[in-house]
Amino acid sequence: MAKSVDEVRAEIPFLRTKVIYLDNAATTPTPQPVLDAMLEYFREYGGNIGRGIHRSTRRATEAFEATREKLARVINAKPEEIAYAKNTTEAINIVAQGIGLKRGDKIITTVFEHHSNLLPWQRLEREHGVKLELVGMSKECLLDPSEFEAAIDKKTRLIATHHVSNAVGSIQPAGEIGKLAREHGVLYLIDAAQSVGHMPVDVQKLGCDFLAAPGHKGLLGPQGTGFLYAKEDRVAGLEPLLVGGGIVEEVEEHRYGLVKPPQVFDAGTPNIPGIIGLGRACEYVMNIGIERIAERERKLTEQMLKISDIERVEIYGPRHLEDRGGLISFNIEGLGHHDVASMLDELAKIAVRSGHHCAQPTMRHLGVEGTVRASVHYYNLEDEIEKFVSMVGQIARELGG
């Protein structure tokens, strides 16, 4: 039986603080079974991985490796195509540093990216003479595949876009962009920080070469975890970000030979408990059912959108619900975004994010310095959203204008 909302809530200790947590786009609270999996590691077999033959190291290695298979199932990939990372940002940097882009190569990205899917490309532009072109014109922050088509030229090696915007919630036509990339022989990276775990993500259907995602958001895994999917025929050519212990076949005084991917991305002692917890988290969300999570988030988002009827409230992003992930971004006329967030916290213990959401070019595109963002997950309640809508109304009526 799939877990009900009440069952999931009962298993998230953080919710016992009575917080109304609407900051799931930043990171999500951790369910008890995920905590248990990590505690079990610490208490019962806390060895290192891939080092030695005693039973603790063998058990740790087995549990650590098992997470690849679970992540692969979540996104319809193969376990060998999953490299662990500490977050989405690291996963994107592995690609930026690892695919051997050189002077004159062109990358296409968008003005709606999280900084984590922009700075790694800007660094290549600055340090290696790679050409970076940004597309993105729409007021609703929805990407138009024809903009990519127009930007692709003979020098284009990579397109990098987000799947769902963390700043305004738009769901992008990633599958169409992927098709275009394939037709032109261009690599395609998807930043899936706001989609994996929240909605079905199938790398075969999306047609991407790389997909970067966190463990600590939609998947309800622990902080300090993330992963990179690199398609089988791409992963072999990908240079690891780090080299050192734990990933060598043999080392001589002036040369080394490395193990094969995906273990080649695990130099040094990795976040063993975190990755084990992430495996448990994958089972947890799959047990709820990712379709069910998406459906519930859509319903809760529709309910949050009721604030658009409130005078002085402006909502950013797509007009249509079907173009939106589980978050809304807004401002109240006459009030600063941080002030609104702080009042929601002070008056009703509602946790929302305020600021530029690590997406300053998007904010500039919208002509604002920042927004208030409320983001949901499966476990949020209709009552919580009702409280949120009513508090936004109260603040706008009494203090806005």
Ligand X SMILES: Cc1ncc(COP(=O)(O)O)c(C=O)c1O
**C-beta atoms surrounding 14 within 10 Å:** 11
- Buried b / exposed e over 193-219, threshold 16 CB at 10 Å, is bbbbbbbebebeebbbbbbbbbbbbbb
Minimum CB distance to ligand X smaller for 110 or for 156: 110
Q: Is 195 in the site for ligand X (CB under 6 A)?
A: no
Of residues 122, 61, 94, the one with CA closest to residue 230 = 94
Candidates 109, 110, 117, 331; binder of ligand X (CB under 6 A) is: 117
**C-beta atoms surrounding 221 within 10 Å:** 34
Q: Is 193 in the site for ligand X (CB under 6 A)?
A: yes
Candidates 214, 240, 274, 325; binder of ligand X (CB under 6 A) is: 214
- Does 141 qualify as catalytic in the annotation? no
Q: Is 114 in the site for ligand X (CB under 6 A)?
A: yes
Footprint (CB under 6 A) of ligand X, residues 3-32 = 25-26
Least distance from C-beta 91 to ligand X, angstroms? 8
Footprint (CB under 6 A) of ligand X, residues 148-177 = 162, 166
Candidates 110, 194, 263, 380; binder of ligand X (CB under 6 A) is: 194
DSSP state of 49: S
Q: Is 89 in the site for ligand X (CB under 6 A)?
A: yes
**Which residue in the shown chain puts its C-beta closest to ligand X?**
166
Least distance from C-beta 280 to ligand X, angstroms? 19
Minimum CB distance to ligand X smaller for 61 or for 161: 161
Window of 180-188, 191-199, 332-340, 385-393 that interacts with ligand X by CB under 6 A: 191-199
Of residues 330, 215, 288, the one with CA closest to residue 9 = 288
Contact between 143 and 177 under an 8 Å Cβ cutoff? The reply is: yes
**C-beta atoms surrounding 305 within 10 Å:** 17
In the block, tokens 């936004």 appear at 392
Q: Which residues are catalytic?
A: 358
Interacting residue ranges for ligand X, rule: CB under 6 A? 25-26, 87-89, 114, 116-117, 162, 166, 191, 193-194, 214, 226
